[in-house]
Amino acid sequence: MQTTERKVEIKPINCSHYIGGKYVESKSGKTFKNINPATEEVLGVVAEGGREDVNEAVEVARTALKGEWGNMPVRKRSAIIRKIGDLILERKQELATLETLDTGKPIWLSNSVDIERAAYNFHFFADYMTTVGNESYQQDDIAIHYSVRRPVGVVGLINPWNLPLLLMTWKLAPALAAGNTVVMKPSEVTPMTATVLAQICTDAGVPDGVVNMVHGFGETGAALTSHDDVDAIAFTGETVTGSAIMKSAAPTLKKLSFELGGKNPNIIFADANLDDVIDTTLRSSFINQGEVCLCGSRIYVERAIYDEFLERFVAKTKELKVGDPFAEDTKVGALVSEEHYNKVLSYLDIAKEEGGTFLTGGRKADMEKGFYVEPTIITGLGRDSRCVREEIFGPVVTVLPFDTEEEVMEQVNDTHYGLSASLWTSDVKRAARLSAQIEAGMVWVNTWFLRDLRTPFGGAKRSGIGREGGAHSFDFYSEITNVTLKL
Ligand code: NAD
Ligand code: 6OD
């Protein structure tokens, strides 16, 4: 049982929509409750947006598009975007507290990763936007061809609950940098930090109407994706939701960017540095309660080191402290919601039915309240097991031995997902050979989740469409007109 004293004063907020630079309630007056997953207490109420609220937000965003934002000199817009990052850092403790209250993730993680990175997303794109040029070609003495970038228009940003501020800002920063106006739809489960972010944008000097937000469930998101006057949708979430969005956006042929689910392999060869493997695999399995799309939840270990790996991995996993997200020594906090907790627990039942062996966990954590699951390592499952094939998105990993490169590669690619992979080996030729064969958008060799925001981020197969990061984000949020000037 967790006993460490709370250090942070807790100030949850009610969440209203943000339209035209003001917080507003739903036209219907509807609200829903926001629950703290660590305690099951009510944090506050959230406005539940309907089609009419989305319509208003889109109309306001459309009007703002004709205002100064898109035509502002790049240096001025860049300074405003930088300021948003600065204000996020100034309000770091408040934002980190809200993020932990909403998600159940450890406070040190909110502080050191989520909020820092949210600020950096703005700092990065504030710099990046000043370097973006246009192609131009002189065709002998016949013509000059050059391209002109302009904003795509009104963009809907729809996000999940696992890294709420980090992911919203990962879309908002480049969307603003490219001069668009936006309507954000945060996850219904984690609405608080986006609510503060909207005001921060105004405080930084973003003109009213450029950044808007409507809270709500899937139907609210669907009102945005099907809207006739929304030009593009940037979505992060489940693969099945991506598919529904594609259908609803089809009649209006919106530009779509999708960052979807994954079931990522972590492939460990016997020649890898096992100390590094264990440290990183602990993170890639259980950080953020395993609620990271990139988590390496399918672990494949070469048979020569299978027993040693398991012995050391199990010992380290047992040391992970599960409990109060506000305790500094907590490594695994609460899962985000009761619904998600029940989903993860149902996979533990499936693993039992499938004949899996639990080397750790396999059950709820010993807490009086809240949605806690112990970090779980499962062996003995076949490659067709549902726990090996389906995204669980919790602190649950499966470990399977392999004998040959061919055998493991065949299993690695035997999935509709293709988000990321980790590959551990000291053989450089093997690293190059296998990373080229892995059907995934991102492959980390001898590391995991090492990011450089200039690089393309995104999934292959049913894990996404398009890439985000640096030029890739900028291209998505820009429309390009080619001009040919006859000489
Ligand atoms: P989700 O798809 O259920 O919801 C995501 C967002 O979409 C929410 O805001 C939700 O309200 C909205 N939504 C739901 N139905 C909708 C519809 N029909 N039309 C429009 N919007 C709709 O996902 P989740 O459970 O919040 O998040 C977990 C999932 O997100 C996992 O699959 C995870 O892998 C994925 N994820 C992917 C990445 C990535 O970069 N690839 C990053 C984080 C999370
Ligand atoms: O680091 C990022 O840019 C990013 N999009 C991370 C996504 C993590 C998924 O849960």
Sorted by sequence, the CB contacts under 8 Å of residue 368 that are 6+ apart come out as: 1
Per-residue pLDDT of 320-348, as tens digits, reads 999 999 999 999 999 999 999 999 999 99
pLDDT score of 7: 55
pLDDT score of 133: 84
Is 197 exposed, middle or buried, given 0-12, 13-18 or 19+ CB atoms closer than 10 A?
buried
- Which parts of the chain have pLDDT scores under 50? 1-6
For residue 321, which amino acid is it?
Answer: K
Q: Cα–Cα distance between 161 and 163 in angstroms, integer? A: 6
pLDDT score of 11: 83
CA–CA–CA angle 208, 210, 211 (5° rounding): 95
pLDDT score of 9: 64
pLDDT score of 1: 41
Sorted by sequence, the CB contacts under 8 Å of residue 243 that are 6+ apart come out as: none
Name the residue with the closest Cα to ligand 1, atom 43: 293
Q: Cα–Cα distance between 377 and 398 in angstroms, integer? A: 6
Closest residue by Cα to residue 400 from 275, 306, 270? 306
Q: Which residues sit with their C-beta closer than 6 Å to ligand 1?
A: 158-162, 167, 185, 187-188, 217-218, 221-222, 225, 236-238, 241, 244-245, 259-262, 293, 391, 393, 419, 459, 464
Closest residue by Cα to residue 106 from 364, 342, 323, 344? 323
Spatial contact of 351 and 381, defined as CB atoms under 8 Å apart? yes
Residue 316 has φ and ψ, to the nearest 5°, of: -70, -35
What atom of ligand 2 comes closest to residue 259's alpha carbon? 5
Q: Name the residue of 215, 236, 248 to mutate for ligand 1: max ligand atoms within 8 A of Cβ.
A: 236
pLDDT score of 157: 99
Q: Cα–Cα distance between 110 and 94 in angstroms, integer? A: 10
Find how far residue 388's CA is from the centre of its chain. 22
For residue 102, which amino acid is it?
Answer: D
Phi-psi region of 257 (alpha: psi -120 to 50; beta: other; left: phi over 0): beta
Q: How far is the CA of 426 from the centre of ligand 1 (A)?
A: 36
Burial code (b: 16+ CB inside 10 Å, e: under 16) for 262-299 equals: bbbbbbbbbebebeebbebbbebbbbbbbbbbbbbbbb
Residue 267 has φ and ψ, to the nearest 5°, of: -105, 120
Q: How far is the CA of 453 from the centre of ligand 1 (A)?
A: 22
- Tokens in use for 215? 């809270």
Spatial contact of 60 and 154, defined as CB atoms under 8 Å apart? no
What atom of ligand 1 comes closest to residue 237's alpha carbon? 30
Burial code (b: 16+ CB inside 10 Å, e: under 16) for 206-234 equals: bbbbbbbbbbbeeebbbbbbbbeebbbbb
Question: Average pLDDT of the chain?
Answer: 96
Sorted by sequence, the CB contacts under 8 Å of residue 182 that are 6+ apart come out as: 61, 154, 155, 156, 157, 172, 175, 176, 210, 211, 212
Beta strands in 270-330, from DSSP E residues, in sequence order = 298-302
Output Rg (C-alpha) for the chain, integer angstroms.
Answer: 23
What atom of ligand 1 comes closest to residue 259's alpha carbon? 41
pLDDT score of 3: 44
Say if ligand 2 is within 6 A of residue 451 CB.
Answer: yes
Closest residue by Cα to residue 279 from 319, 323, 307, 321? 319
Q: Cα–Cα distance between 253 and 226 in angstroms, integer? A: 10
Q: Which residues are catalytic?
A: 259, 293
pLDDT score of 259: 98
Q: How far is the CA of 263 from the centre of ligand 2 (A)?
A: 14
Helical spans, DSSP H, in 178-227: 192-204, 218-225
Please count the CA atoms within 13 angstroms of the CA of 476 that sit on its side-chain side.
30
Beta strands at 181-185 and 211-213: parallel, antiparallel or unpaired? parallel
Q: Coil, strand, or helix at residue 352?
A: helix
Q: Name the residue of 167, 172, 287 to mutate for ligand 2: max ligand atoms within 8 A of Cβ.
A: 167
What angle do the packed helices 74-90 and 92-103 form, to 10 degrees? 70
Per-residue pLDDT of 271-308, as tens digits, reads 999 999 999 999 999 999 999 999 999 999 999 999 99
Q: What is the largest CA-CA distance in the chain?
A: 79
Whole-model pTM? Answer: 0.96
